[in-house]
Structure 1
Amino acid sequence: MNPVVTPFRALHHTDKPLLLLPNAWDHASASALAAQGFEAIGTTSLGVAAAAGLPDGTAATRDLTLSLARQLGAGAFLLSVDAEDGFSQDPDDVAELARELADAGAVGINLEDGLGPVALHAAKIAAVKAAVPDLFVNARTDTYWLGDGGHAETCRRLDAYQQAGADGVFVPGLGDADRIAALVKTLDVPLNILYSPLGPTVARLGDLGVRRVSLGSLLYRRALGAAVDAAADIRAGRPPRGLTPTYADVQALSAEGPPRSVGASATR
């Protein structure tokens, strides 16, 4: 059976530029990104965890992730949720989470294998697709992120996830252009790559056949860096550099109705 072509799925299968998916960590960051015209926004598990003083990748943020999805699910954008490994080793529990995320308004879920058993991750994917067929499952393998890479092992894992029903696959840490192009040729579903300032540009990734580029925790980490830089500038007697939205700009991000772009009243 062919999957239903939802608006989010369509963004992965059009001839227009690839899907650039920025990742938010709270309501304000998502609203600010939506105001810049991004049709789809993801969440970042690191941002959600770190904002609450919790470690990422330890299944500690299931409730926080679901709560954020409920805040963002009715927004003027398509929402994809980073759910680590599903916060459980039980495929039925992961499927229940997927149902709750879909009920909250999410249209996609990102599930990572953490280099765990291939069969278990495939079972999670199959359980999610059986429970919520229209939810876009982006199946991540960590062969490059946590392992030593390797085309054969990456292909073995991704093939199993495709067979289980994944709508797209994600290989963070892969930045070599030739390896990306070779991997694209083996896939039946769209490839998602994690953007790196040191890697290929978004345009180049599109030329290589990549259909989705995620920013992951980059924006959250940049925001932290900007806050520290601003405090250091003020301490040193300098005006803070960079864009500074006004109080009214930030207030507007929480107002009902379409999000408003942050104003030009910036301190540089």
Structure 2
Amino acid sequence: MVKTFRDLHFGDRPLLLPNAWDVPSALTFAEAGFDAIGTTSFGVASALGRPDGGRATKEANLRLAEALSAVPGHVSVDIEDGYADSPEAVADYVAQLDAAGVNIEDSTDETLIPSQAHAAKVQAVKERCPALFVNARVDTYWLGQDADVESTLERAQLYCRHGADGVFVPGAVEPAVLGELAANIPVPVNVLVVPGLSLGELGRLGIRRVSTGSLPYRAAVHAAASVAVAVRDGGGVPAAVPYPELQARLVDYARRVG
């Protein structure tokens, strides 16, 4: 039986969601066996030559979501703060996306917005798209604003009451904090990769989803520079996907999209 995106949050260990920024990166994750792929607003913005945030990825994400609809597996789109202050405008935007889920953050321009305002966005999206998995991001720890368990839980539980299917708390890394959040949030809790903690260890703390965020994109940029430096300086050339293999993926993808 094919598992839904929601089902993947309730497996034996946390769902590892790699974050793509274009079609080739998504195809590579699918080829590696991942059943679900997220997008990274940082990677999408950076590829446009723009800094993350500031609602720079609005149009690019519409095009990317359409392109990724032909990639095998489920896709969740990172839509920053929904690209609008109005809950209705956010819902209008989300309704255009061909995706299994969205990730929407409760901050704008590096500042937390009132929790009720974000809850209204979550509710509007769920009312418009009830089957969509809405991952409500709580940016308290990420921004260092109200970065404590009590404030984070207050926001997370409010978003859950307004229909959030999951809660994402990037920047929370201490095991005791993660355990307390997971125990008191009634939906799957999502965190970024935590150095030093395996998926199994995060699962034992109650975490149900782990995102790579911008890490793959930043690693790819680093690898690109490493290749050029290695050739220039006479070092060993780093490993890469063979040209014929990547070309074959793209040819197959092109056939599917017509």
TM-score class, shorter-chain normalisation, is: over 0.9
Match of 2:104 in 1: 111
- Structure 2, gaps ≥5 residues long: none
Match of 1:77 in 2: 73
Q: Which secondary structure state, in structure 1, belongs to the residue aligned with residue 251 of structure 2?
A: coil
Percent of residue pairs bearing the same amino acid type:
47
- 1:235 equivalenced with 2:232 (yes/no): yes
**How many angstroms apart in 2 are the aligned matches of 1:162 and 1:207?**
22
| 1:12 Cα deviation after fit | 1.0
Match of 2:60 in 1: 64
- Structure 1, gaps ≥5 residues long: 1-5, 259-268
Match of 1:153 in 2: 151
**How many angstroms apart in 1 are the aligned matches of 2:103 and 2:190?**
11
Cα RMSD between the aligned structures? 1.7
| 1:257 Cα deviation after fit | 5.9
| 1:210 Cα deviation after fit | 0.4
Task: Say whether the 8 Å CA contact 1:25–1:43 is kept in structure 2.
Answer: yes
The match for 1:208 among 191, 205, 208 is: 205
Q: Which secondary structure state, in structure 2, belongs to the residue aligned with residue 172 of structure 1?
A: coil
TM-score with structure 1 setting the length:
0.90
Alignment length (residue pairs):
249
More helix by share: 2
Structure 1 segments (4+ residues) deviating >4 Å: none
**How many angstroms apart in 1 are the aligned matches of 2:213 and 2:196?**
14
Match of 1:174 in 2: 172
Residues 52-72 of structure 1 deviation map (CA, whole Å, 9 limit, x = unaligned): 101111101100011000000
Q: Which secondary structure state, in structure 2, belongs to the residue aligned with residue 183 of structure 1?
A: helix
Residue identity matched to 1:110: N
**How many angstroms apart in 2 are the aligned matches of 1:86 and 1:257?**
29
Match of 1:27 in 2: 23
Q: Which secondary structure state, in structure 2, belongs to the residue aligned with residue 109 of structure 1?
A: strand
**How many angstroms apart in 1 are the aligned matches of 2:93 and 2:10?**
26
